[in-house]
Structure 1
Amino acid sequence: MKTFETYLQGLGLAASSIAQVQRSLVLCEQKTGVLESLTYQDLLVFVRYLQQSGSKPYTINRHLSSLKHYFSYLILQGFRSDNPAQNLRVKGGVVGLSFQGLDFAALEHLYGAYQGAAELKALLSLYIYQGVKTLEVRHIKVGDVDLTKGELSLRASGVGANQTGARCLALAPGQILLLHQLIGGRSANAGLFVVGDRYDALTQALFEEVRRLNPLIVNAHTIRRVVISHWLKSEDIRLVQHKAGHLRVKSTERYRVAHLEELQQEIARLHPLSD
């Protein structure tokens, strides 16, 4: 097995740089009590410590770069599936998230890395492959899923600016077996996910894990924006309008230009260290 030092040498790091990386790891472990199993929240605690100790943004980012190397090494060795330092940076004293890498490929990577309950993975799949809105998920019935045709029918929902139209969307191949297991022998009129008051608990559990795997993904709306942007790269805008459930094409057009800036603002607003 390749050692971490050998891994760093393979990246072309000088001996002095490797020593700095090792010092960063020791400091992080001292202040958080963990290293290999470090979570994103643990990492935020470490960054807070560095800020309160008077470290400059350059120094903090150097520590984060060291940790990024370490977690990349652990992923390569099969000890982790995520890198909590991947998109974290400090700019002007404020901790933020780099937007680079949040595209549809990142969503598919997230889907592959997600190891939660089958019901939660099925819910995540609808956000990623059909771009559904949270309100729409509440109204999906078992009978709306046609596994033979590989289709999902969505009802019109919402009011005003949040209204979406009815539509029929193709299921991705990997969703068929997952949804088949979820449906079982339940009645066509039963809710696909909603049983009593379980829906809020389901979504909370799902996105707690999602944010651990990729902190850039704030909520279901973040995923939907990335999905619609991805569709617009290769499909006619009228088709994307239908798939997104937009009643007006102007609602779809704004994703071509404004969605990246809006996502940046949303992440900055909702990220726990953006204040």
Structure 2
Amino acid sequence: MIDYRAYLQKKGYTETTIENYIKQVQLFIKWCNRNHTTAIDIDYKDCLKYIKYLQRKGTTKKTVNHRLGRVKVYLNYLVEENFKSENPIESTTIKGVKRIVNYNLLEADELEDLYYSYETENIKDQYHRLTAKRDRIIVGLMVYQGLSTTNLKALEVRHIEVYKGKIYVPGHKKMNARELELKPWQVIELLEYIKEIREEIKQRRKVESERLLIPNNARLSNTITNIIKKLKKTNHKVENINQIRASVITNWLGQYNLRKVQYLAGHRYISSTERYLQDDLENLHEIVNSFHPIA
């Protein structure tokens, strides 16, 4: 397990998570041994037997999916190390796990309107005009690239590839890194921001930082909270940055296949992306029940 531990460390998992993953894999390997197979030789049919074994133990569907996810990571490791030719359960999940009910999502045109409606010009105070332009860039990264607060905090100037029209979003323990396309108008505004606006904000704030987005105070999350308050005035449906991200991901699912959306969203597991799939009848039923429960 030494090599596998190093693999997980390289992927950015915390030590606590690594211990949990290794424990689950060891249990999986023991099951394989009892059933006259190995993790290297196991095929889809035997994997189904393992899933049934977990289900017979009274494990909930959600827990089975979690344990299956840890086995998937291990099998992916074996594939990457050329011990296996493929992962037989790469796209396997247990049906029946409750999905996110996204009942207050924003359409693509509503998201874009948040960006274009964000005021940056008719502001008397020069510094506030500068920060408004920074904030509009944040809104753009939220509504076009679906970035989370954690993503926005991690961005540095070097992550913007202006001349390629792309942005590199660093990964962290819960999310994969990815490279995303920028809209042409985002590129233009980012050029101005990096060369002029950001420098002036740094001088005003008297800070030296490689961070792309210099906040009004020590916490970018406070800046984002203020942005959301302004966005609510544009569209009363706006709730928070998580809702905006969920809207972006759901809209992507209407345009691209599941794997591409998984990459765009930075999800470690395909099951995370699947939770955003919209089943209109299922969602309608859940929404009605949540507001009008049957006694």
SS in 1 for 2:277: helix
Show structure 1 runs of 5+ residues with no match.
Answer: 1-98, 270-275
Aligned counterpart for 1:182 among listed residues 193, 206, 220: 193
- The one-character-per-residue Cα deviations of 1:232-267 (angstroms, maximum 9, x if unpaired) are 1111110110000001111111111379959x97xx
SS in 2 for 1:234: coil
Q: Call closer, same or farther: CA 1:205–1:101 in 2, change over 3 Å.
A: closer
2:279, 2:151 → 1: CA distance? 24
Show structure 2 runs of 5+ residues with no match.
Answer: 1-102, 121-131, 203-207
Q: Call closer, same or farther: CA 1:100–1:127 in 2, change over 3 Å.
A: closer
1:118 aligns with 2:133: yes
1:210 counterpart residue number: 231
Give the partner amino acid of 1:194. Answer: I
Spell out the pairing of 1:55-94 with structure 2 (5 A cutoff): none
2:211 counterpart residue number: 191
1:131/1:244 contact within 8 Å kept? yes
The alignment's TM-score, normalised by the length of structure 2, stands at 0.50
2:146, 2:139 → 1: CA distance? 10
1:44 counterpart residue number: none
1:109 counterpart residue number: 113
Considering only aligned residues, what root-mean-square deviation do their CA atoms show, in Å? Answer: 2.9
SS in 2 for 1:169: strand
Give 1:179 deviation, angstroms: 0.8
SS in 1 for 2:239: coil
The alignment's TM-score, normalised by the length of structure 1, stands at 0.54
The farther-off stretch of 177-186 and 139-148 is 177-186
Runs of 4+ in structure 1 deviating by more than 4 angstroms, as ranges, are 185-189, 258-262
Q: Call closer, same or farther: CA 1:216–1:200 in 2, change over 3 Å.
A: same
1:239, 1:189 → 2: CA distance? 33
Work out the number of aligned pairs and report it.
164
Aligned counterpart for 2:178 among listed residues 152, 159, 167: 167
2:240 counterpart residue number: 219
1:151 counterpart residue number: 166
Q: Call closer, same or farther: CA 1:149–1:109 in 2, change over 3 Å.
A: same
2:210, 2:267 → 1: CA distance? 26
Q: Call closer, same or farther: CA 1:205–1:100 in 2, change over 3 Å.
A: closer
Larger Rg: 2
Give 1:200 deviation, angstroms: 2.9
Give the partner amino acid of 2:214. Answer: V
SS in 2 for 1:148: coil
2:106/2:244 contact within 8 Å kept? no
